[in-house]
Amino acid sequence: MAFVLALPTLYSATAFSAVTAISVVGFTPAYAIPVLLRLRHRDRFTPGPWHLGGWSRPIGWAAVLWAAGATVLFLLPQSSPVTATSFNYTPVALLVALVMAALWWRFGRRSYGVPSAGTANAHDSQHNTSGGSVTVSAESIESVQQLTTVWRTMVLDRDADADVRDLPGITVRWADSRFGFFNCITLTETETGAELLRHRLSQAAGIMRTKKHPGLVWLFEDLLDDEARSALETTAEQAGLQYAFPGTGMAGDLLPVPEPAHPDLTFARVRTDEQLRAYADLQSRAYGFPLEEGRDGLVGSTLWKNEVYAYLAMRGDEPVACAATVEAQGRLFVAFVATDPQWQRKGYGEAVTRKALHEGARATGLTRATLHATAAGAPVYPRIGFEPNTRIHFYGLKS
């Protein structure tokens, strides 16, 4: 098709100019847009193994400005006076392409899914350092990546100077908040053997001992080889860690979900500090924290009031459950679902989770959702359409 479209350039200078200009206008913004997003939303990106360091911003802005200037120039007439043969038809072609793209986005965007995270890493993860085959699923890798991506955003929202690092085999997402869920370390290497696990858990424990407030190590079981899994309990104890509670990674191409209805409930999106405080208090009651600890993590956040699709389930004037979703790497991540203990086992948590999923999907157009379930939530989420992938083990420092 490209060859056929380019044939007129063999005999027409006007066609040659148009095809050249259209090509430049087509691909130059495609290079510039990711650079611009990196400059505008630094907290949502994790630097790779090679980066420009302090030069990244000036070079990035130079690239964006150059691309913008080149795009404008190739939309202008290339000669004067402007006639039918010298007219630059690039703006017309661009307008047609944008209209077609807008129509496709409006009417066709729900007809395809979003690839699972970790797909790009699947080839690189086919072999470990000893040459053995790897059985880690793309869904398990996705689960780890979703944690590190979402927690990076939330921890930096809580404290712009938080400890957010991507070390070899370990990611640190530590706000040093009284809200312990915002103090997180996780292991990221696939097919981790017993000796490497011992080393990584010792590293994690060492980092935790330097902090003021306690937190958790999130350990995704599918990233360990069989020997490391068998030795996990002993290895964690030797590193100075104690088991806290279990979890399960889950995901599904389940969106959109119907708007939920529950005879007891209405739903309110979190938009005010008062609503955010109610959300934090539900977290504290559900997980057995003092109220001040939950509030220390959430109250005052602009992210939670504007970019997170956070909802309260209201029984009359009383908030009884809460759930939130947030966009992360082309997925809708479900976070911080909780039900007041006195109102549990009434379907309130499931209803408000469906509400957060419904509204998040409607706003973003995303089709895939992910979450990390506690033991209490694990039986509920498959009813919505989630499928479990990897077991998660949570560890804290020994008292």
Exposed (0-12), middle (13-18) or buried (19+): which is 211, by Cβ within 10 Å?
middle
- Measured in degrees and rounded to the nearest 5, phi and psi for residue 396 equal -115, 170
Query: So what's the pLDDT on residue 388?
Result: 96
Residue 257 placed within a domain: no
- Banded pLDDT at 8 (limits 50, 70, 90): low
Do 6 and 38 belong together in one domain? yes
Domain that residue 226 falls in: 138-245
For residue 47, count other CB atoms closer than 10 A to its CB: 12
pLDDT of 319 > 80? The answer is yes
Query: So what's the pLDDT on residue 1?
Result: 55
- Banded pLDDT at 124 (limits 50, 70, 90): very low
pLDDT of 125 > 50? The answer is no
Residue 340 placed within a domain: yes
- Give the helix/strand (H/E) hosting 27: helix 13-40
86-115: average pLDDT: 71
Do 302 and 226 belong together in one domain? no
Query: So what's the pLDDT on residue 132?
Result: 41
Do 275 and 362 belong together in one domain? yes
As a whole number of angstroms, the distance between CA 252 and CA 32 comes to 32
pLDDT of 337 > 90? The answer is yes
End of a domain among 186, 215, 245?
245
Determine how β-strand 309-315 pairs with β-strand 369-374.
unpaired
As a whole number of angstroms, the distance between CA 181 and CA 170 comes to 17
Do 6 and 106 belong together in one domain? yes
As a whole number of angstroms, the distance between CA 175 and CA 113 comes to 34
Name the domain count of the chain. 3
Residue 173 placed within a domain: yes
Residue 396 placed within a domain: no
- Banded pLDDT at 94 (limits 50, 70, 90): confident
Residue 394 bridge partners (DSSP) = 218, 245
Do 21 and 84 belong together in one domain? yes
173-190: average pLDDT: 96
Residue 380 placed within a domain: no
What is the Cα gyration radius of the chain?
25
Q: Is cis: bond before 47, omega within 30 of 0? A: no
Tokens of 213: 């407030």
- Banded pLDDT at 44 (limits 50, 70, 90): low
Least confident of 107-121, 229-243, 262-276, 282-296: 107-121
Residue 123 placed within a domain: no
Query: So what's the pLDDT on residue 115?
Result: 43
22-49: average pLDDT: 76
- The answer to whether 220 touches 392, Cβ cutoff 8 Å, is yes
DSSP conformation letters of 312-367 = EEEETTEEEEEEEEEEETTEEEEEEEEE-GGG-SSSHHHHHHHHHHHHHHHHH---
Between residues 346 and 88, the one the model is more confident about: 346
pLDDT of 177 > 90? The answer is yes
Residue 165 bridge partners (DSSP) = 172
For 291, half-sphere exposure in the C-beta direction (CA atoms, 13 angstrom radius) is 7
Query: So what's the pLDDT on residue 52?
Result: 76
Query: So what's the pLDDT on residue 316?
Result: 97
Do 185 and 274 belong together in one domain? no
End of a domain among 111, 127, 149?
111
Query: So what's the pLDDT on residue 129?
Result: 41
Residue 392 placed within a domain: no
As a whole number of angstroms, the distance between CA 179 and CA 162 comes to 13
- Measured in degrees and rounded to the nearest 5, phi and psi for residue 86 equal -100, -5
356-365: average pLDDT: 96
Quote the distance between the C-alpha of residue 116 and its chain's center.
12
- Banded pLDDT at 20 (limits 50, 70, 90): confident
Do 143 and 240 belong together in one domain? yes
What CATH number is attached to the domain comprising 302? 3.40.630.30
For residue 182, count other CB atoms closer than 10 A to its CB: 24
pLDDT of 230 > 50? The answer is yes
As a whole number of angstroms, the distance between CA 232 and CA 279 comes to 35
As a whole number of angstroms, the distance between CA 397 and CA 341 comes to 27
Do 218 and 147 belong together in one domain? yes
Do 92 and 151 belong together in one domain? no
End of a domain among 73, 93, 111?
111
Residue 126 placed within a domain: no
Find all residues with CB under 8 Å of 65, minimum gap 6, and list them: none
Do 272 and 239 belong together in one domain? no
Do 238 and 277 belong together in one domain? no
Average pLDDT, the chain: 87
Do 241 and 272 belong together in one domain? no
pLDDT of 207 > 70? The answer is yes
